[in-house]
């Protein structure tokens, strides 16, 4: 699997000189499977750049779009994803069911009003909602994709993709220490032994008390999950829009020190960067 980050920012795009390194676009991750199938997780503003790249290749575009949830920072990029205006594009949408409804309402509310001048029915691409992965694992090109429901306002899904012996987990917009939500041990079970965990780490431990119930985690909580789950590598994502590149570096440093202090110095930790890609394994 090849994983490429087109957007890593949380909540709202945050362009500018202070976010140049880790990026200002909101969540969009492309996963190319060994079979050649393409999976895209979330349709944040980074999806515009992915669309331009795919269009420049001059071939028909076809992929699975896995939506984690319905919040706008995870949907805003689709109207600006150029291939949806092409007849030979096919988008198979799966994921959190109300996210697809929200996606269509960006274009119109079936009464003629939306947040965009083009109605959903006028898009030339074929866009179908499968609604499979929320009900059970799906199989795609030799890869099994499992989902887990998350602690987030209005809900959401995290995903585990397994290809042969290797797997990675993508969980954004998830409050690991939520009161009354899914327990940490259930997330530990879901991520157990994966090669790579990509997890929301929007807040600092000293900030989280003002943001309890908002559906996000700290780097400390993400490290705890990675250590208990025995994962090999952790990438922090959904960077707060106010967070500068220098501050993201500080978070990574603090997370590494924390892991080392817990006897998990071999756990690789970094922050997800827009435009970066990695191969698994
Ligand atoms: Zn978000
Ligand atoms: Zn959200």
Where in the sequence is the domain holding 206, given as residue range(s)?
2-279
128: CATH = 3.60.15.10
Which DSSP string corresponds to 226-248? HHHHT-SEEEEESB-TT--HHHH
Distance 134 CA to ligand 2 centre (A): 17
pLDDT per residue as tens digits for the range 80-116: 999 999 999 999 999 999 999 999 999 987 676 778 8
Alpha-carbon span 50 to 81, nearest angstrom: 7
Residue 220 is given by DSSP the state H
**CB-CB contact of 190 with 162 (8 Å):** no
Instruction: Please list, in sequence order, all residues whose beta carbon lies within 8 angstroms of the beta carbon of residue 261, skipping any fewer than 6 positions away.
Output: none
22 Cβ contact list (under 8 Å, min separation 6): 8, 9, 239, 245, 248, 271, 272, 273, 274
Distance 72 CA to ligand 2 centre (A): 8
Residues that place a CB less than 5 A from ion ligand 2: 71, 173
Burial of 203 (C-beta count, 10 Å sphere; 0-12/13-18/19+): buried
Ligand nearest to the CA of 214: 2
Task: Please give the tally of structural domains in the chain.
Answer: 1
pLDDT in tens, 111-164: 767 788 898 989 999 999 999 999 999 999 999 999 999 999 999 999 999 999
Expressed in angstroms and rounded, the spacing between residue 204 Cα and the centre of ligand 2 is: 17
SS3 270: strand
pLDDT of 174-211, one tens digit each? 999 999 999 999 999 999 999 999 999 999 999 999 99
0.95 exceeded by pTM: yes
């Amino acid at each position: 699997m090849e994983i490429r980050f087109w957007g890593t920012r949380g909540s709202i795009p945050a362009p500018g000189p202070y976010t140049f390194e880790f990026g200002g676009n909101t969540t969009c991750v492309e996963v190319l499977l060994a079979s050649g199938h393409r999976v895209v997780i979330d349709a944040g503003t980074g999806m515009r750049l992915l669309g331009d790249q795919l269009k420049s290749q001059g071939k028909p575009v076809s992929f699975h779009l896995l939506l984690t949830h319905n919040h706008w920072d995870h949907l805003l990029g689709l109207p600006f994803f150029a291939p949806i205006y092409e007849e030979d594009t096919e988008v198979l949408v799966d994921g959190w069911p109300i996210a697809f409804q929200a996606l269509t309402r960006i274009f119109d509310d079936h009464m003629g009003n939306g947040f965009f001048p083009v109605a959903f029915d006028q898009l030339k691409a074929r866009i179908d909602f499968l609604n499979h992965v929320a009900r059970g694992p799906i199989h795609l090109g030799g890869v099994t994709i499992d989902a887990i429901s998350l602690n987030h306002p209005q809900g959401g899904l995290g995903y585990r993709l397994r290809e042969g012996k290797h797997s990675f987990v993508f969980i954004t917009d998830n409050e690991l220490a939520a009161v009354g939500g899914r327990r940490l041990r259930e997330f530990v079970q879901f991520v157990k032994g994966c090669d790579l965990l990509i997890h929301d780490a929007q807040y600092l431990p000293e900030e989280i008390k003002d943001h309890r119930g908002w559906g996000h985690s700290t780097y400390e909580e993400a490290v705890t999950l990675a250590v208990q789950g025995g994962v090999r590598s952790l990438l922090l994502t959904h960077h707060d829009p106010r967070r500068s590149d220098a501050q993201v570096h500080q978070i990574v440093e603090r997370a590494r020190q924390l892991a080392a202090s817990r006897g998990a110095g071999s756990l690789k930790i970094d922050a997800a960067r827009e435009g970066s890609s990695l191969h698994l394994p």
